[in-house]
Amino acid sequence: MNMTLDEAIEKITADAEELGLEYFPVNFEIVPIDVMLEVMSYGLPTRARHWSYGKSYEYQKISGEMGYSKVYEIVLNNDPSYAFLLDTNSLIANVMVAAHVIGHVHFFTNNYLFKQTDRKMVYQAAARAQRIEEYIEKYGIEKVEHFMNIAFSMDKHIDWHKGVHRGTYSGPKRVFKKKAKREFDDLLSKDKKNVKEVIENKGFPPHKEWDLLWFFINYAPLETWQRDIFEIIREESFYFYPQFYTKIMNEGFASYMHAELMHRFDDIAPEDHLEFCKIHERVVQPGSNKLNINPYFLGFTIFNDIKKRWDKMHKDGESEITGLQKIYEVVEAEDDISFVKNYLTQELVDDLKMFAYKRAFDKSRNEFIQIESMDKDDVAEHVVSKLYNYMSPEVYIERASSDGIELVHSSQDNTTLDEKHLEKVMEYIYEVWGGMVNVSTKDVNGEEVNYTYDELGFSHISDDDLSSSLFAGMD
Protein backbone atom coordinates (compact mmCIF):
# COMPACT_ATOMS: atom_id res chain seq x y z
CA MET A 1 0.00 0.00 0.00
CA ASN A 2 1.44 3.31 -0.94
CA MET A 3 0.02 5.20 2.01
CA THR A 4 0.50 5.24 5.76
CA LEU A 5 -2.13 4.07 8.23
CA ASP A 6 -2.71 7.73 9.08
CA GLU A 7 -3.47 8.56 5.47
CA ALA A 8 -5.61 5.47 5.07
CA ILE A 9 -7.68 6.44 8.12
CA GLU A 10 -8.11 9.88 6.61
CA LYS A 11 -9.41 8.37 3.39
CA ILE A 12 -11.72 5.95 5.25
CA THR A 13 -13.06 8.87 7.26
CA ALA A 14 -13.89 10.82 4.11
CA ASP A 15 -15.47 7.78 2.41
CA ALA A 16 -17.50 6.99 5.52
CA GLU A 17 -18.94 10.47 5.45
CA GLU A 18 -19.87 10.05 1.83
CA LEU A 19 -21.64 6.81 2.69
CA GLY A 20 -23.63 8.67 5.32
CA LEU A 21 -22.07 7.15 8.43
CA GLU A 22 -22.55 9.23 11.58
CA TYR A 23 -20.52 8.34 14.59
CA PHE A 24 -18.41 9.46 17.55
CA PRO A 25 -14.80 10.34 16.72
CA VAL A 26 -12.43 7.41 17.10
CA ASN A 27 -9.00 7.32 18.72
CA PHE A 28 -6.97 4.48 17.26
CA GLU A 29 -4.01 3.06 19.08
CA ILE A 30 -1.64 0.36 17.88
CA VAL A 31 -0.67 -1.98 20.69
CA PRO A 32 1.17 -5.28 21.24
CA ILE A 33 -0.79 -8.49 21.70
CA ASP A 34 -0.50 -8.44 25.49
CA VAL A 35 -2.26 -5.13 25.75
CA MET A 36 -4.80 -6.27 23.20
CA LEU A 37 -5.66 -9.33 25.26
CA GLU A 38 -5.76 -7.24 28.37
CA VAL A 39 -8.27 -4.80 26.93
CA MET A 40 -10.27 -7.73 25.63
CA SER A 41 -10.33 -9.46 29.01
CA TYR A 42 -11.47 -6.34 30.74
CA GLY A 43 -14.06 -5.27 28.20
CA LEU A 44 -13.55 -1.85 29.72
CA PRO A 45 -9.83 -1.41 30.21
CA THR A 46 -10.19 1.26 32.88
CA ARG A 47 -12.50 -0.64 35.21
CA ALA A 48 -11.57 -1.95 38.64
CA ARG A 49 -9.31 -4.91 39.03
CA HIS A 50 -10.68 -8.39 39.62
CA TRP A 51 -9.15 -11.84 39.38
CA SER A 52 -11.73 -12.90 36.81
CA TYR A 53 -10.12 -10.58 34.24
CA GLY A 54 -6.82 -12.24 35.03
CA LYS A 55 -8.42 -15.59 34.39
CA SER A 56 -9.82 -14.39 31.11
CA TYR A 57 -6.46 -12.91 30.19
CA GLU A 58 -4.70 -16.22 30.80
CA TYR A 59 -7.34 -18.03 28.85
CA GLN A 60 -7.03 -15.62 25.91
CA LYS A 61 -3.29 -15.99 25.98
CA ILE A 62 -3.41 -19.76 25.94
CA SER A 63 -5.98 -19.95 23.18
CA GLY A 64 -4.07 -17.35 21.19
CA GLU A 65 -0.83 -19.26 21.52
CA MET A 66 -2.56 -22.46 20.51
CA GLY A 67 -4.01 -20.72 17.50
CA TYR A 68 -7.64 -21.07 18.48
CA SER A 69 -8.39 -17.44 18.26
CA LYS A 70 -7.02 -14.42 16.52
CA VAL A 71 -7.97 -11.00 17.67
CA TYR A 72 -7.96 -8.14 15.17
CA GLU A 73 -9.47 -5.24 17.01
CA ILE A 74 -11.19 -4.05 20.13
CA VAL A 75 -13.38 -1.00 20.15
CA LEU A 76 -14.99 0.72 23.11
CA ASN A 77 -18.46 2.24 23.22
CA ASN A 78 -17.66 5.74 24.39
CA ASP A 79 -17.73 9.31 23.09
CA PRO A 80 -15.07 9.62 21.78
CA SER A 81 -14.60 5.99 20.98
CA TYR A 82 -11.32 4.13 21.51
CA ALA A 83 -10.07 1.39 19.25
CA PHE A 84 -7.06 -0.87 19.54
CA LEU A 85 -5.23 -2.37 16.59
CA LEU A 86 -2.57 -5.04 16.72
CA ASP A 87 1.05 -4.05 16.04
CA THR A 88 1.85 -7.34 14.32
CA ASN A 89 -0.92 -6.97 11.76
CA SER A 90 0.09 -5.94 8.26
CA LEU A 91 -0.78 -2.45 7.14
CA ILE A 92 -3.55 -3.66 4.87
CA ALA A 93 -5.01 -5.71 7.72
CA ASN A 94 -5.05 -2.71 10.03
CA VAL A 95 -6.61 -0.51 7.35
CA MET A 96 -9.39 -3.03 6.98
CA VAL A 97 -9.76 -3.29 10.75
CA ALA A 98 -9.95 0.51 11.03
CA ALA A 99 -12.81 0.47 8.51
CA HIS A 100 -14.47 -2.30 10.49
CA VAL A 101 -14.11 -0.26 13.68
CA ILE A 102 -15.85 2.72 12.11
CA GLY A 103 -18.76 0.42 11.33
CA HIS A 104 -18.93 -0.58 14.99
CA VAL A 105 -18.79 2.99 16.20
CA HIS A 106 -21.62 3.98 13.86
CA PHE A 107 -23.55 1.10 15.36
CA PHE A 108 -22.80 2.22 18.94
CA THR A 109 -23.78 5.77 18.11
CA ASN A 110 -27.10 4.99 16.48
CA ASN A 111 -28.57 1.73 17.76
CA TYR A 112 -31.54 2.21 20.11
CA LEU A 113 -30.12 -0.05 22.84
CA PHE A 114 -26.72 1.62 22.79
CA LYS A 115 -28.36 5.05 22.96
CA GLN A 116 -29.37 4.18 26.51
CA THR A 117 -25.78 3.53 27.63
CA ASP A 118 -23.41 5.83 29.40
CA ARG A 119 -21.19 7.40 26.73
CA LYS A 120 -18.59 8.47 29.23
CA MET A 121 -18.25 5.00 30.66
CA VAL A 122 -14.51 4.76 30.06
CA TYR A 123 -13.91 7.71 32.38
CA GLN A 124 -16.60 6.65 34.85
CA ALA A 125 -14.98 3.25 35.09
CA ALA A 126 -11.60 4.83 35.79
CA ALA A 127 -13.03 6.93 38.61
CA ARG A 128 -14.81 3.90 40.06
CA ALA A 129 -11.70 1.78 39.81
CA GLN A 130 -9.98 4.46 41.86
CA ARG A 131 -12.66 4.19 44.54
CA ILE A 132 -12.32 0.43 44.61
CA GLU A 133 -8.56 0.80 45.02
CA GLU A 134 -9.31 2.92 48.07
CA TYR A 135 -11.61 0.24 49.45
CA ILE A 136 -8.88 -2.32 48.90
CA GLU A 137 -6.50 -0.08 50.75
CA LYS A 138 -8.96 0.27 53.60
CA TYR A 139 -10.59 -3.14 53.88
CA GLY A 140 -8.08 -5.45 52.18
CA ILE A 141 -8.16 -7.26 48.87
CA GLU A 142 -10.00 -10.34 50.18
CA LYS A 143 -13.00 -8.45 51.48
CA VAL A 144 -13.34 -6.26 48.43
CA GLU A 145 -12.81 -9.17 46.07
CA HIS A 146 -15.38 -11.16 47.97
CA PHE A 147 -17.96 -8.45 47.56
CA MET A 148 -17.16 -8.14 43.89
CA ASN A 149 -17.61 -11.92 43.59
CA ILE A 150 -21.03 -11.53 45.17
CA ALA A 151 -22.00 -8.73 42.80
CA PHE A 152 -20.75 -10.63 39.73
CA SER A 153 -22.74 -13.69 40.76
CA MET A 154 -25.97 -11.76 40.08
CA ASP A 155 -24.89 -9.10 37.61
CA LYS A 156 -26.84 -10.56 34.69
CA HIS A 157 -30.08 -10.26 36.62
CA ILE A 158 -31.01 -6.72 35.69
CA ASP A 159 -34.29 -5.30 34.49
CA TRP A 160 -33.41 -3.44 31.30
CA HIS A 161 -36.87 -2.00 30.85
CA LYS A 162 -36.97 -0.40 34.28
CA GLY A 163 -33.61 1.10 33.41
CA VAL A 164 -30.35 1.72 35.15
CA HIS A 165 -31.62 4.70 37.12
CA ARG A 166 -34.87 3.96 38.90
CA GLY A 167 -36.47 5.11 42.12
CA THR A 168 -37.35 2.94 45.05
CA TYR A 169 -40.81 1.45 45.48
CA SER A 170 -43.52 3.90 46.43
CA GLY A 171 -44.61 3.99 50.04
CA PRO A 172 -42.48 4.48 53.12
CA LYS A 173 -38.86 3.56 52.77
CA ARG A 174 -38.22 0.21 54.33
CA VAL A 175 -35.08 -0.72 56.08
CA PHE A 176 -34.20 -4.28 56.83
CA LYS A 177 -31.87 -5.16 59.62
CA LYS A 178 -29.71 -8.20 59.70
CA LYS A 179 -31.40 -10.97 61.58
CA ALA A 180 -29.52 -12.35 64.53
CA LYS A 181 -27.48 -15.25 63.31
CA ARG A 182 -27.21 -17.27 66.46
CA GLU A 183 -29.85 -19.89 66.88
CA PHE A 184 -31.56 -18.71 70.04
CA ASP A 185 -31.09 -15.00 69.64
CA ASP A 186 -34.67 -14.49 68.57
CA LEU A 187 -35.90 -16.21 71.73
CA LEU A 188 -33.65 -14.10 73.87
CA SER A 189 -34.55 -10.77 72.37
CA LYS A 190 -37.12 -8.89 74.38
CA ASP A 191 -39.41 -7.65 71.68
CA LYS A 192 -40.81 -10.00 69.11
CA LYS A 193 -40.14 -7.58 66.31
CA ASN A 194 -38.92 -10.23 63.91
CA VAL A 195 -42.11 -12.18 64.10
CA LYS A 196 -44.26 -9.14 63.50
CA GLU A 197 -42.22 -8.02 60.57
CA VAL A 198 -42.87 -11.18 58.59
CA ILE A 199 -46.55 -10.42 58.65
CA GLU A 200 -46.13 -6.72 57.98
CA ASN A 201 -43.96 -7.39 55.02
CA LYS A 202 -46.31 -9.80 53.39
CA GLY A 203 -46.58 -7.69 50.29
CA PHE A 204 -42.95 -6.87 49.84
CA PRO A 205 -41.56 -6.36 47.28
CA PRO A 206 -44.79 -5.04 45.73
CA HIS A 207 -44.18 -6.95 42.50
CA LYS A 208 -41.80 -9.57 41.15
CA GLU A 209 -38.38 -8.02 41.33
CA TRP A 210 -35.99 -9.06 38.58
CA ASP A 211 -33.20 -6.59 39.25
CA LEU A 212 -31.45 -8.40 42.08
CA LEU A 213 -28.54 -6.04 42.65
CA TRP A 214 -30.85 -3.03 42.56
CA PHE A 215 -33.00 -4.61 45.24
CA PHE A 216 -30.05 -5.31 47.52
CA ILE A 217 -28.55 -1.87 46.91
CA ASN A 218 -31.78 -0.29 48.10
CA TYR A 219 -33.03 -2.66 50.76
CA ALA A 220 -30.24 -4.85 52.11
CA PRO A 221 -28.32 -3.84 55.24
CA LEU A 222 -25.10 -3.01 53.41
CA GLU A 223 -22.26 -0.74 54.23
CA THR A 224 -21.69 2.23 51.98
CA TRP A 225 -18.64 0.78 50.24
CA GLN A 226 -20.44 -2.52 49.67
CA ARG A 227 -23.39 -0.69 48.17
CA ASP A 228 -21.00 1.23 45.94
CA ILE A 229 -19.44 -2.00 44.62
CA PHE A 230 -22.91 -3.37 43.85
CA GLU A 231 -23.83 -0.17 42.03
CA ILE A 232 -20.63 -0.14 40.01
CA ILE A 233 -21.03 -3.71 38.83
CA ARG A 234 -24.73 -3.31 38.16
CA GLU A 235 -24.13 -0.24 35.99
CA GLU A 236 -21.42 -2.04 34.07
CA SER A 237 -23.89 -4.82 33.43
CA PHE A 238 -26.30 -2.31 31.87
CA TYR A 239 -23.42 -0.93 29.85
CA PHE A 240 -22.56 -4.32 28.36
CA TYR A 241 -26.13 -5.47 27.83
CA PRO A 242 -26.53 -3.92 24.32
CA GLN A 243 -23.28 -5.54 23.15
CA PHE A 244 -24.67 -8.90 24.13
CA TYR A 245 -27.97 -8.28 22.37
CA THR A 246 -26.53 -7.02 19.10
CA LYS A 247 -23.58 -9.30 18.43
CA ILE A 248 -24.92 -10.61 15.11
CA MET A 249 -26.02 -7.20 13.87
CA ASN A 250 -23.03 -5.31 15.16
CA GLU A 251 -20.49 -7.67 13.60
CA GLY A 252 -22.55 -8.07 10.47
CA PHE A 253 -22.82 -4.34 9.98
CA ALA A 254 -19.13 -3.69 10.71
CA SER A 255 -18.18 -6.40 8.22
CA TYR A 256 -20.56 -4.99 5.65
CA MET A 257 -19.02 -1.56 6.15
CA HIS A 258 -15.39 -2.64 6.01
CA ALA A 259 -16.13 -4.36 2.70
CA GLU A 260 -17.90 -1.24 1.44
CA LEU A 261 -15.06 1.06 2.54
CA MET A 262 -12.30 -1.19 1.28
CA HIS A 263 -13.86 -1.29 -2.19
CA ARG A 264 -13.14 2.40 -2.39
CA PHE A 265 -9.42 1.89 -2.29
CA ASP A 266 -8.66 1.70 -5.98
CA ASP A 267 -4.89 1.52 -5.90
CA ILE A 268 -4.41 -1.57 -3.77
CA ALA A 269 -1.56 -3.77 -5.00
CA PRO A 270 -2.62 -7.28 -6.01
CA GLU A 271 -0.81 -8.93 -3.09
CA ASP A 272 -2.47 -6.54 -0.63
CA HIS A 273 -5.79 -7.22 -2.23
CA LEU A 274 -5.22 -10.92 -1.86
CA GLU A 275 -4.44 -10.51 1.82
CA PHE A 276 -7.50 -8.36 2.33
CA CYS A 277 -9.64 -11.06 0.72
CA LYS A 278 -8.10 -13.73 2.92
CA ILE A 279 -8.80 -11.86 6.15
CA HIS A 280 -12.24 -10.86 5.01
CA GLU A 281 -13.04 -14.46 4.16
CA ARG A 282 -11.79 -15.65 7.51
CA VAL A 283 -13.99 -13.18 9.30
CA VAL A 284 -17.20 -13.77 7.40
CA GLN A 285 -17.03 -17.47 6.58
CA PRO A 286 -19.93 -19.63 7.75
CA GLY A 287 -17.66 -21.62 10.06
CA SER A 288 -16.19 -25.06 9.67
CA ASN A 289 -18.38 -26.48 12.43
CA LYS A 290 -21.63 -27.32 10.72
CA LEU A 291 -23.46 -27.37 14.03
CA ASN A 292 -22.78 -23.74 14.58
CA ILE A 293 -23.10 -20.50 12.73
CA ASN A 294 -20.60 -17.68 12.78
CA PRO A 295 -22.45 -14.52 13.89
CA TYR A 296 -20.23 -12.33 11.68
CA PHE A 297 -21.23 -14.43 8.71
CA LEU A 298 -24.92 -14.51 9.55
CA GLY A 299 -25.12 -10.77 10.17
CA PHE A 300 -23.06 -9.95 7.09
CA THR A 301 -25.23 -12.18 4.91
CA ILE A 302 -28.49 -10.74 6.19
CA PHE A 303 -27.31 -7.14 5.71
CA ASN A 304 -26.21 -7.92 2.15
CA ASP A 305 -29.58 -9.48 1.53
CA ILE A 306 -31.39 -6.41 2.93
CA LYS A 307 -29.28 -4.21 0.67
CA LYS A 308 -30.13 -6.27 -2.39
CA ARG A 309 -33.85 -6.55 -1.64
CA TRP A 310 -34.42 -2.89 -0.81
CA ASP A 311 -32.33 -1.67 -3.74
CA LYS A 312 -34.54 -3.74 -6.00
CA MET A 313 -37.75 -2.50 -4.37
CA HIS A 314 -36.43 1.04 -4.57
CA LYS A 315 -35.70 0.57 -8.26
CA ASP A 316 -39.15 -0.91 -8.81
CA GLY A 317 -40.74 2.00 -7.01
CA GLU A 318 -41.91 -0.18 -4.12
CA SER A 319 -39.70 1.49 -1.54
CA GLU A 320 -38.86 5.11 -0.96
CA ILE A 321 -35.53 4.24 0.55
CA THR A 322 -32.48 2.50 -0.91
CA GLY A 323 -30.87 -0.62 0.43
CA LEU A 324 -28.20 1.34 2.31
CA GLN A 325 -30.78 3.62 3.89
CA LYS A 326 -32.74 0.56 4.95
CA ILE A 327 -29.61 -0.85 6.53
CA TYR A 328 -29.18 2.32 8.60
CA GLU A 329 -32.80 2.10 9.66
CA VAL A 330 -32.35 -1.50 10.76
CA VAL A 331 -29.18 -0.62 12.66
CA GLU A 332 -31.11 2.02 14.59
CA ALA A 333 -34.26 0.13 15.38
CA GLU A 334 -33.44 -3.55 15.88
CA ASP A 335 -31.59 -5.89 18.18
CA ASP A 336 -30.47 -9.45 17.37
CA ILE A 337 -33.76 -11.03 18.35
CA SER A 338 -35.92 -8.79 16.16
CA PHE A 339 -33.26 -8.60 13.44
CA VAL A 340 -33.09 -12.35 12.92
CA LYS A 341 -36.83 -12.81 13.26
CA ASN A 342 -37.66 -9.99 10.83
CA TYR A 343 -34.90 -10.28 8.25
CA LEU A 344 -33.85 -13.90 8.02
CA THR A 345 -35.77 -15.06 4.93
CA GLN A 346 -36.69 -18.58 3.88
CA GLU A 347 -34.55 -18.05 0.76
CA LEU A 348 -31.50 -17.35 2.92
CA VAL A 349 -32.21 -20.36 5.12
CA ASP A 350 -32.44 -22.54 2.00
CA ASP A 351 -29.35 -21.02 0.40
CA LEU A 352 -27.23 -21.47 3.48
CA LYS A 353 -28.78 -24.88 4.18
CA MET A 354 -29.56 -23.78 7.70
CA PHE A 355 -31.37 -26.08 10.07
CA ALA A 356 -32.66 -26.11 13.62
CA TYR A 357 -31.68 -29.12 15.69
CA LYS A 358 -31.72 -30.47 19.19
CA ARG A 359 -29.20 -32.49 21.07
CA ALA A 360 -30.17 -35.74 22.73
CA PHE A 361 -28.74 -39.03 23.92
CA ASP A 362 -29.54 -42.48 22.63
CA LYS A 363 -29.96 -45.56 24.82
CA SER A 364 -26.25 -46.23 25.02
CA ARG A 365 -25.62 -42.66 26.18
CA ASN A 366 -24.16 -41.55 22.87
CA GLU A 367 -24.97 -37.99 22.02
CA PHE A 368 -26.66 -37.31 18.74
CA ILE A 369 -28.36 -34.39 17.08
CA GLN A 370 -31.73 -34.51 15.50
CA ILE A 371 -32.70 -32.13 12.71
CA GLU A 372 -35.95 -30.47 13.74
CA SER A 373 -36.81 -27.99 11.06
CA MET A 374 -35.64 -25.93 8.12
CA ASP A 375 -38.47 -23.47 8.45
CA LYS A 376 -37.17 -19.92 8.83
CA ASP A 377 -39.23 -19.16 11.93
CA ASP A 378 -37.95 -22.24 13.71
CA VAL A 379 -34.39 -21.54 12.61
CA ALA A 380 -34.67 -17.90 13.77
CA GLU A 381 -36.12 -18.99 17.11
CA HIS A 382 -33.23 -21.37 17.65
CA VAL A 383 -30.69 -18.69 16.74
CA VAL A 384 -32.05 -16.27 19.32
CA SER A 385 -33.03 -18.81 21.97
CA LYS A 386 -29.70 -18.36 23.73
CA LEU A 387 -30.11 -14.61 23.96
CA TYR A 388 -33.16 -14.38 26.17
CA ASN A 389 -32.67 -12.93 29.62
CA TYR A 390 -28.99 -12.09 29.17
CA MET A 391 -28.26 -15.81 28.87
CA SER A 392 -29.22 -16.36 32.49
CA PRO A 393 -32.02 -18.26 34.21
CA GLU A 394 -35.09 -16.15 34.96
CA VAL A 395 -35.01 -15.54 38.67
CA TYR A 396 -37.00 -12.97 40.60
CA ILE A 397 -37.49 -11.96 44.22
CA GLU A 398 -40.93 -13.01 45.38
CA ARG A 399 -40.87 -11.90 48.99
CA ALA A 400 -38.51 -10.46 51.52
CA SER A 401 -38.53 -9.58 55.19
CA SER A 402 -36.00 -9.32 58.00
CA ASP A 403 -36.41 -13.05 58.47
CA GLY A 404 -35.48 -14.04 55.00
CA ILE A 405 -35.85 -13.73 51.30
CA GLU A 406 -37.59 -15.92 48.79
CA LEU A 407 -36.58 -16.16 45.15
CA VAL A 408 -38.32 -18.01 42.37
CA HIS A 409 -36.83 -19.48 39.23
CA SER A 410 -39.41 -19.45 36.48
CA SER A 411 -38.09 -22.41 34.60
CA GLN A 412 -38.53 -22.57 30.84
CA ASP A 413 -38.55 -25.93 29.02
CA ASN A 414 -37.64 -27.76 32.21
CA THR A 415 -34.29 -26.07 32.49
CA THR A 416 -32.85 -26.58 35.94
CA LEU A 417 -30.43 -24.53 37.99
CA ASP A 418 -26.82 -25.53 38.42
CA GLU A 419 -26.85 -26.67 42.01
CA LYS A 420 -23.18 -26.17 42.78
CA HIS A 421 -23.34 -22.58 41.64
CA LEU A 422 -26.70 -21.99 43.24
CA GLU A 423 -25.43 -23.08 46.63
CA LYS A 424 -22.63 -20.56 46.48
CA VAL A 425 -24.85 -17.76 45.24
CA MET A 426 -27.40 -18.50 47.97
CA GLU A 427 -24.61 -18.34 50.50
CA TYR A 428 -23.76 -14.92 49.08
CA ILE A 429 -27.36 -13.76 49.31
CA TYR A 430 -27.60 -15.08 52.86
CA GLU A 431 -24.63 -12.94 53.74
CA VAL A 432 -26.01 -9.88 51.98
CA TRP A 433 -29.55 -10.16 53.28
CA GLY A 434 -28.68 -11.47 56.70
CA GLY A 435 -31.47 -14.01 56.84
CA MET A 436 -32.65 -17.29 55.42
CA VAL A 437 -32.67 -17.62 51.65
CA ASN A 438 -35.17 -19.70 49.75
CA VAL A 439 -35.11 -20.51 46.04
CA SER A 440 -37.87 -22.49 44.44
CA THR A 441 -37.40 -24.10 41.07
CA LYS A 442 -38.22 -27.32 39.25
CA ASP A 443 -36.17 -30.43 38.68
CA VAL A 444 -35.73 -32.15 35.30
CA ASN A 445 -39.07 -33.87 35.71
CA GLY A 446 -40.87 -30.62 36.36
CA GLU A 447 -41.29 -31.36 40.06
CA GLU A 448 -41.06 -28.51 42.53
CA VAL A 449 -37.74 -28.21 44.34
CA ASN A 450 -37.05 -25.87 47.22
CA TYR A 451 -33.57 -24.85 48.17
CA THR A 452 -32.81 -23.24 51.48
CA TYR A 453 -29.76 -21.54 52.82
CA ASP A 454 -29.77 -20.64 56.50
CA GLU A 455 -27.46 -20.78 59.49
CA LEU A 456 -27.19 -24.53 58.99
CA GLY A 457 -26.06 -24.12 55.42
CA PHE A 458 -27.50 -25.37 52.16
CA SER A 459 -30.30 -27.90 51.89
CA HIS A 460 -33.09 -28.80 49.58
CA ILE A 461 -36.51 -30.33 49.80
CA SER A 462 -37.88 -31.95 46.71
CA ASP A 463 -40.75 -33.94 48.19
CA ASP A 464 -44.24 -32.71 48.73
CA ASP A 465 -43.04 -31.55 52.09
CA LEU A 466 -42.73 -27.84 51.57
CA SER A 467 -43.70 -26.96 55.10
CA SER A 468 -40.30 -25.57 55.88
CA SER A 469 -40.52 -23.20 52.97
CA LEU A 470 -40.15 -19.79 54.50
CA PHE A 471 -43.51 -18.38 53.62
CA ALA A 472 -45.47 -21.57 53.21
CA GLY A 473 -49.01 -21.37 54.45
CA MET A 474 -49.09 -17.61 54.58
CA ASP A 475 -51.34 -16.98 51.64
Partner 1 sequence: MPKNRLTDNLSDIWKLKKRGKRDSDRHKELVRDAIKKQGRDLITEYNIIRSDGNKKVKVPIKFLDQYKIKNGSSSKKGVGQGLDAKPGDRYRLRKPGKKPGKSGAGNEEGDVSFEAEVSIDELVDILLEELNLPWMEPKDSSEIEIENDEFSSIEKKGIMPNLDIKKTLIQNIKRNAAAGDAKVGDFKNEDLRYKVWDVEKEYQSNAAIYMMMDRSGSMSEEKRYIAKSFYFWMGQFLKRRYKNIKIYFIAHDVRAYFVNENEFFSINSGGGTQCSSAFKAAYDHIVAHHSAQYWNNYVFEFSDGDNWGDDNRLCVEYVEKLLPLVTAIGYGEIDVNGGRSWMGAENLLSTILHNEINRTRFVSLKIGSKDDVFDALRSFFNIDRFGYRATKK
Using CB under 8 A as the binding rule, the residues of this chain from 343 to 402 that contact partner 1 are 352-360, 366-374, 379, 382-383, 385-386, 392-393, 395
Phi/psi of residue 30, nearest 5 degrees: -95, 125
Rule CB under 8 A: which of 453-472 touch partner 1?
Answer: none
Q: Which is nearer to partner 1, 256 or 428 (CB)?
A: 428
Q: Which is nearer to partner 1, 169 or 357 (CB)?
A: 357
Q: What residues contact residue 94 under an 8 Å CB cut-off, 6+ apart?
A: 5, 30, 85, 86
Q: Which is nearer to partner 1, 241 or 310 (CB)?
A: 241
Strand order in the sheet with 395-400: 395-400, 404-409, 436-442, 448-454, 457-461
Site string for partner 1, 107-136 (x = CB under 8 A): -------------------x----------
Residue from 29, 87, 200, 318 binding partner 1 (CB under 8 A) = 29
* Binding status of residue 35 toward partner 1 by CB under 8 A: yes
Least Å from the CB of residue 142 to partner 1: 10
Q: Which is nearer to partner 1, 198 or 374 (CB)?
A: 374
Residue from 15, 45, 164, 245 binding partner 1 (CB under 8 A) = 45
CB of 285 closer than 8 Å to CB of 294: yes
Residue from 1, 3, 13, 227 binding partner 1 (CB under 8 A) = 13
* Partners of residue 450 on adjacent β-strands: 440, 461
Q: How many residues line the site for partner 1 (CB under 8 A)?
A: 93
CB of 72 closer than 8 Å to CB of 276: no
Q: Which is nearer to partner 1, 86 or 293 (CB)?
A: 293
Q: Which is nearer to partner 1, 188 or 291 (CB)?
A: 291
Q: What residues contact residue 356 under an 8 Å CB cut-off, 6+ apart?
A: 371, 372, 373, 374, 375, 378, 379, 381, 382
Least Å from the CB of residue 144 to partner 1: 12
Long-range CB contacts (< 8 A, 24+ apart) of 290-297? Answer: 291/357, 291/369, 293/354, 293/383, 295/247, 295/248, 295/251, 295/252, 296/251, 296/252, 296/255
Least Å from the CB of residue 190 to partner 1: 38
* Binding status of residue 445 toward partner 1 by CB under 8 A: no
Q: Which is nearer to partner 1, 23 or 215 (CB)?
A: 23
Least Å from the CB of residue 469 to partner 1: 19
Amino acid at 58: E
* Binding status of residue 30 toward partner 1 by CB under 8 A: yes
Neighbour count for residue 191 (Cβ, 10 Å): 7
Stretch (H or E) spanning 205:
none
24: three-class secondary structure by DSSP: coil
Q: Which is nearer to partner 1, 189 or 285 (CB)?
A: 285
Residue from 82, 253, 276, 328 binding partner 1 (CB under 8 A) = 82
Site string for partner 1, 269-308 (x = CB under 8 A): -----------------xx--xxxx---------------
Rule CB under 8 A: which of 409-438 touch partner 1?
Answer: 415-419, 421-422, 424-425, 428
Helices 336-343 and 295-315 pack at an angle, to 10 degrees, of 50
Least Å from the CB of residue 104 to partner 1: 13
Q: Which is nearer to partner 1, 225 or 355 (CB)?
A: 355
Least Å from the CB of residue 474 to partner 1: 25
CB of 197 closer than 8 Å to CB of 100: no
Q: How far apart are CA 117 and CA 78, in angstroms?
A: 9
Least Å from the CB of residue 367 to partner 1: 4
Least Å from the CB of residue 122 to partner 1: 9
Least Å from the CB of residue 13 to partner 1: 5
* Binding status of residue 322 toward partner 1 by CB under 8 A: no
Peptide bond into 80 cis (omega under 30): yes
CB of 462 closer than 8 Å to CB of 443: yes
Least Å from the CB of residue 315 to partner 1: 30
Nearest to 48 by CA among 220, 230, 189, 255: 230
Residue from 1, 3, 49, 466 binding partner 1 (CB under 8 A) = 49
* Binding status of residue 71 toward partner 1 by CB under 8 A: no
Residue from 154, 213, 229, 232 binding partner 1 (CB under 8 A) = 154
CB of 406 closer than 8 Å to CB of 181: no
CA R_g for the chain: 26
Least Å from the CB of residue 98 to partner 1: 8
Nearest to 101 by CA among 12, 175, 176, 20: 12
Q: Which is nearer to partner 1, 131 or 174 (CB)?
A: 131
CB of 369 closer than 8 Å to CB of 359: yes
Rule CB under 8 A: which of 180-219 touch partner 1?
Answer: none
